[in-house]
């Protein structure tokens, strides 16, 4: 028998009932049901319920176990008692009756529990990142990220793109942010830079005659975090194509992105064809060149409403007289708000946005 395991903690099924098995992993949760000990043993592949009762030769050792101890368990696979099956687990129809336990690595009291999905301050999570990454949601996120990268890589190669790895240490060539600098050991007083993007290297690749380039590239920028990007370091799908038009680029990239979205959407609908919006139209309707089309609110031209003689709001009427237009975001239900709501909105526009006072 293997020194540490014959099966992973996610492998056992009803077809394994009666087998002598050996598992190794972390004690995810330990439950004492009146002398009957249940140990949920976890590894990278899943979780298996192990059981020890007072008749088991390993019962004394099982009583000493604590959360996140690393152990090896020998035992026999058997059916879970009727009514105790767990359909949420691939291994939920079986359990292992413990015959022997070896402690491979005891753990001290934990600064944060792994079992459950309680929210903890970020400084605690980062300090004990090795514990944080054992938690189910974080572990699943890491696995999903790898699967998404694999999907992107496969789809790009199917379209004839060739993957490159460009240098990380390079000469400084500032782009939109500040460089991260790395001191040189061989050239005291001089520095390498980490690339903000593989821009120069990929252009060298293209003028060298490689027709279709792609890279899942790390980018390093000494800048603050953004809503869609981590601070300092992030990865991007970087693409170059030779002898193509803009439409060719859209036709190559859209199936990759849409295919990845469909693969990992968990049943949610994905736009079958990405809409193409001219820049001017996007700015006019949405006020941004990357609008979220799930938001139904579209900026509208309301100049005609303020041209009405019965309207006395001169701040907008004067704009129209000067040749301008008034555009507004629809706000359903706003008319039912009290006057104080609009007074506060007016004050906010003046103090925060620098709008002139209404006259």
Question: pLDDT tens, 253-297?
Answer: 999 999 999 999 998 889 889 999 999 999 999 999 999 988 888
Give, in order, the Cα–Cα distances in Å from 179 to each of 14, 174, 176, 182, 194: 57, 6, 9, 10, 7
Predicted local distance difference test score (pLDDT) of residue 38:
96
CA–CA separation, 50 vs 39, rounded Å?
Answer: 5
Work out the mean pLDDT of the chain and round it to a whole number: 92
CA–CA separation, 38 vs 43, rounded Å?
Answer: 16
Question: pLDDT tens, 51-104?
Answer: 999 988 899 999 999 999 999 999 999 999 999 999 999 999 999 999 999 999
CA–CA separation, 280 vs 287, rounded Å?
Answer: 10
CA–CA separation, 256 vs 152, rounded Å?
Answer: 7
Global confidence as pTM: 0.82
* Mean pLDDT across 125-129: 94
For the cut 70, the answer to whether the pLDDT of residue 358 exceeds it is: no
Question: pLDDT tens, 15-34?
Answer: 999 999 999 999 999 999 88
The 3-class SS string of 213-235 reads EEEEEEEEEECCCECCECCEEEE
Residue with tokens 């104080």: 340
DSSP 8-state code for residue 89: S
* Mean pLDDT across 157-167: 96
Predicted local distance difference test score (pLDDT) of residue 316:
82
The CB density around residue 5, as the number of other CB atoms within 10 Å, is 18
Predicted local distance difference test score (pLDDT) of residue 349:
85
The CB density around residue 48, as the number of other CB atoms within 10 Å, is 30
Question: pLDDT tens, 140-153?
Answer: 999 999 999 999 99
Question: pLDDT tens, 180-208?
Answer: 999 999 999 999 999 999 999 999 999 99
Higher pLDDT, 359 or 93: 93
End-to-end CA distance of the chain, in Å? 88
Element (H, E) at 21: strand 20-33
Give, in order, the Cα–Cα distances in Å from 353 to each of 83, 319, 343, 347, 359: 63, 17, 15, 10, 17
Predicted local distance difference test score (pLDDT) of residue 279:
95
């Amino acid at each position: 028998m293997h020194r540490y395991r014959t099966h992973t903690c996610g492998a056992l099924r009803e077809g394994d009932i009666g087998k002598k098995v050996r598992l190794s992993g972390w004690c995810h949760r330990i439950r004492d049901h009146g002398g009957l000990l249940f140990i949920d043993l976890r590894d990278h592949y899943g979780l298996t319920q192990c059981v020890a009762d007072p008749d088991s030769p390993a019962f004394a050792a099982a009583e000493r176990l604590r959360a996140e101890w690393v152990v090896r368990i020998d035992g026999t696979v058997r059916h879970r008692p009727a009514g105790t099956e767990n359909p949420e687990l691939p291994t939920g129809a079986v359990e292992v009756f413990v015959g022997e336990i070896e402690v491979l690595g005891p753990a001290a009291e934990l600064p944060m529990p792994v079992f459950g999905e309680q929210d903890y301050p970020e400084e605690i999570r980062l300090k004990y990142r090795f514990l944080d990454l054992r938690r189910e949601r974080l572990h699943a996120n890491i696995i999903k990220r790898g699967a998404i990268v694999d999907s992107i890589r496969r789809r790009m190669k199917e379209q004839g793109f060739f993957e490159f790895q460009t240098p990380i240490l390079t000469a400084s060539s500032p782009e939109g942010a500040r460089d991260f600098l790395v001191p040189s050991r061989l050239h005291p007083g001089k520095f390498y830079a980490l690339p903000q993007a593989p821009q120069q290297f990929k252009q060298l690749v293209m003028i060298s005659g490689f027709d279709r380039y792609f890279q899942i590239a790390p980018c390093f920028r000494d800048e603050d975090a953004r809503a869609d990007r981590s601070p300092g370091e992030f990865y991007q799908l970087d693409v170059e194509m030779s002898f193509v038009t803009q439409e060719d680029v859209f036709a190559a990239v859209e199936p990759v992105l849409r295919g990845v979205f469909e693969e990992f959407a968990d049943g949610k609908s994905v736009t079958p064809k990405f809409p193409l919006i001219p820049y001017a139209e996007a700015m006019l309707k949405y006020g941004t060149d990357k609008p979220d089309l799930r938001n139904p609110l579209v900026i509208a031209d309301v100049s005609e409403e303020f041209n009405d003689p019965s309207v006395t709001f001169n701040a907008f009427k004067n704009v129209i007289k000067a040749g301008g237009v008034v555009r507004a975001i629809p706000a359903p239900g706003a008319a039912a708000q009290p006057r104080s709501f609009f007074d506060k909105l007016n004050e906010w526009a003046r103090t925060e946005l620098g709008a002139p006072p209404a006259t």
